């Protein structure tokens, strides 16, 4: 096995192991979520997002640098040609925002989002929810569309890398339900394509973040049990 194949195998193994470790962390946090006090709900949300960023982003980068001497820009940590694809980014972002406005009518989706189940929201809480998603997805996309996708691309080629990425991406969404796992396939194809074409993970972070944040806000807006209060309390 050559160095490129070794890196790809390590990327696949890391993705599976780190994902299950993260699920374990979430399970522990949710098992201690009996206390519905506002401060407790907020602190659990922060820990969910920070632990994901550290595990998927920081730990992955440290291991890749330590064991494989990778150059992070070659694994998507660069602007690349992202600016040349701005029409794609705008169209994709607008599409997912509109899609979330429509899908938020579904009560099943509103049961999951927003993740912070606060009855009263204000501007600081919306900012916290958005920042949490952006931070988490920066680490998440570095693992999936950075280390995993480029690692497999360098070793196996364009389409095998996308197929492997989609298979893991969809499989690890199964705990959220078959519908959500299925929905990751067209989304994953678009994100993988833009990542490989731009040689950058930043389009993936941007689109994924806008998709997640717009879902949170749309579900909050349509949830009859949640309300917005301009005060800081």
b/e 9-42 (16+ beta carbons within 10 angstroms → b): ebbbebbeebbeebeeebeeeeeeeeeeeeeebb
Give the Cα separation of 8 and 156 in Å (integer).
8
Give the Cα separation of 171 and 80 in Å (integer).
29
pLDDT for res 1: 61
User: Would you state the structure tokens that stand for residue 53, as one six-digit string?
Assistant: 């960023």
Q: Are 118 and 226 spatial neighbours (Cβ–Cβ below 8 Å)?
A: yes
**Segments making up each domain of the chain, as ranges:** 3-228
Q: Are 162 and 189 spatial neighbours (Cβ–Cβ below 8 Å)?
A: yes
pLDDT for res 178: 76
User: Would you state the structure tokens that stand for residue 171, as one six-digit string?
Assistant: 């499989």
231 has pLDDT over 90: no
Give the Cα separation of 164 and 128 in Å (integer).
33
Tell me the helices (H) and strands (E) count for the chain, helix number first.
10, 2
Confidence category of residue 33, pLDDT binned at 50, 70, 90: low
Q: What is the pLDDT of residues 195-216, one digit of tens each?
A: 999 999 999 999 999 999 999 9
User: Would you state the structure tokens that stand for residue 174, as one six-digit string?
Assistant: 């199964």
């Amino acid at each position: 096995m050559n160095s490129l194949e070794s890196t790809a195998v390590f990327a696949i193994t890391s993705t599976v192991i780190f994902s299950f470790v993260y699920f374990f962390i979430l399970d522990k946090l949710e098992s201690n979520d009996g206390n519905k006090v506002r401060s407790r709900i907020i602190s659990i949300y922060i820990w969910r997002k920070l632990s994901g960023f550290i595990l998927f982003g920081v730990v992955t980068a440290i291991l890749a640098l330590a064991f494989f001497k990778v150059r992070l820009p070659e694994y998507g940590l660069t602007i690349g040609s992202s600016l040349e694809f701005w029409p794609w980014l705008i169209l994709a972002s607008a599409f997912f925002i509109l899609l979330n406005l429509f899908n938020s009518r579904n009560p099943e989706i509103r049961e999951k989002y927003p993740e912070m189940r606060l009855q009263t929201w204000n501007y600081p809480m919306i900012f916290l929810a958005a920042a949490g998603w952006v931070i988490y997805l920066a680490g998440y996309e570095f693992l999936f569309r950075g280390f995993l996708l480029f690692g497999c691309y360098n070793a196996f080629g364009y389409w095998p890398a996308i197929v492997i990425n989609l298979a893991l991406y969809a499989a690890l969404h199964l705990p959220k339900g078959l519908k959500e796992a299925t929905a990751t396939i067209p989304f994953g194809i678009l994100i993988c394509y833009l990542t490989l074409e731009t040689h950058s993970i930043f389009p993936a972070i941007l689109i994924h973040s806008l998709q997640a944040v717009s879902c949170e806000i749309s579900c909050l807006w349509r949830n009859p049990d949640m309300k917005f209060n301009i005060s800081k309390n």
